[in-house]
Structures are given as structure tokens and as C-alpha cells.
Amino acid sequence: MTQGSRYVGFPEFFLIIEFIMSNEQDYSLSLENAVTVNEVLKKVIDTACQIDLVALNAVLVAKRAGAASAGFHVVALELRSFGHKIEQEMAVLERLIHLNVQHIAALIKLKKNLRLLQSAMDINQQSSLLLQGVYSGKDRGYQNELAVSLATWNKLGAEIRHALSLCRRGAVLSNNGRIEATYGKSMLEDMQHIVSRIDEIMDEAVNGLKSLNQTLSQ
């Protein structure tokens, strides 16, 4: 994988979020779409959370390499700190995704109630008059839930942007690690392996996002 291809993924991620935000009214009403976004983000979360373990390996390798890898050691410690931050960020994303799906499922339930009431009201004028109040009350509940759902959706978008800025830092760290690994002497191979693994993790995340982009474009 080239460094260039890694960076291609991040603007795409932004485009996806922009798409979601600009179509939020329609998008928020589909449980299928919510599940699709949820599945892709779950994969991104799983993948991103592997960074912490790889960063721990980087610290251990740097320690074994001794003085020859002072620079790599600094990068490894930064990666470790980055890994913790990513994990925290992913926990926030996980909670928001869960809330998002829950709100949309609740919307679907309320919409079904409204549809049934509307069907009854359509039968004759008397039904319509009798059920109008019930319908209005239910519709207010629906609108309230919709507002909460959209707010959660917006928050999810904001948190994804935050996660992206963190990922950008990870990409820079990975690049720095690749440079410092060249001073690794006998541990060169191990260090390069670690940096490659970090690249792979980011690549996997980007591939997931590309598939989401395709789904949204259909």
C-alpha cells in the first residue's frame, strides 16, 4: 500500500458523512440504512482498536533494540498514547451508534402506529374525526423522537470527524515510525513489520469506508 492511497480514504470518509448529514431527513427513516452504517462503523471500530496492541509491540521492540532505536522508541510511545485515545474515541462512537439504531427503531415503531391510525381514519369521515386527536398526539411523539434521532445522528457525525482527525495523527505517526525504523539495525525487520501492520489496520478501515461510500451512492 502506498502512503498516498492511505490518505485517499480520509476525504472519502468526510464525503460519506457529508452525504449522511445532507440527506439526514430521509436517511434517518431507514433502519436498513442505519444497519448498513452501523456494520461498517463496527468494522472500523474493531480495526482501529487493534492499534493499541500493535503500539504495545512497538514499545517492546524499541526497548529490545536499545539505544539504536531512540527515535523509534519515542514514536512507539506516541503510538501507545494514540492507541488509548483511539480506544476512548471508538467507545464513544460505539455508544452513539447503538443510540442511533435504537432511535431509528423507535421511529419505525411510531411510524407503524401512525400508518395504522391513518388507515383507520381513511375509511370514513367519522373515524377520521374520532381519531384525529389520537393521531396528533402520536405524531407529536414521532416528531419529538425524530428530533432526538437527528441530534444523535449529528453527534455521531461530529464524533466521526473527531475520530478522523485522530486517525490523521496516526497516519503521521506511522510515517514517522517508518523513517525511524531505518535506524533499527538488528531490529529493522521487526520495526518494519510493526509499521506495516499499522498501515494495514488503516487500510482495512479505509476499505470498510469505501464499501459504505458505494452503498450510499447506490
Partner 1 sequence: MKKIEIIYENGPHQWAVITRDPEKPEYIIDTNEYLISSGKHALLTDPGGMEIFPAVFSSISAKYDPRNITALFASHQDPDIISSLALWLDFNPDLQCYLSWLWSSFIPHFGGNAQTFISIPDEGMDIMLDTLTLQAVPAHYLHSSGNFNLYDPKAAILFSGDIGAALLPPGEDSLMVRNFDQHIRHAEGFHRRWMGSNEAKLEWCGRVSKMKIDMMCPQHGSIYQGADVERFINWFAELPVGAGVKNSVKS
Shortest distance, position 149 Cβ to partner 1, whole Å: 11
- Give burial (CB, 10 Å; 0-12/13-18/19+) of 76: buried
155/27 Cα distance (integer angstroms): 15
190 phi and psi, to 5 degrees?
A: -60, -45
* Cβ-contact 168, 147 below 8 angstroms: no
The residue among 30 and 50 lying less far from partner 1, judged by its C-beta, is 30
The residue among 101 and 188 lying less far from partner 1, judged by its C-beta, is 101
Within 49-181, residue ranges assigned H as helices are 51-65, 70-123, 125-181
Binding site for partner 1 (CB under 8 A): 31-32, 35, 38-39, 94, 97-99, 101-103, 105-106, 108-109, 112
Shortest distance, position 39 Cβ to partner 1, whole Å: 5
SS3 124: coil
The residue among 108 and 172 lying less far from partner 1, judged by its C-beta, is 108
10/38 Cα distance (integer angstroms): 18
Shortest distance, position 143 Cβ to partner 1, whole Å: 17
Shortest distance, position 32 Cβ to partner 1, whole Å: 7
- The DSSP symbol for 183 reads T
The residue among 1 and 35 lying less far from partner 1, judged by its C-beta, is 35
The residue among 97 and 164 lying less far from partner 1, judged by its C-beta, is 97
The residue among 102 and 119 lying less far from partner 1, judged by its C-beta, is 102
38/42 Cα distance (integer angstroms): 6
Name residue, grid cell 478501515: 205
Give residue 154's Cα distance to chain centre: 13
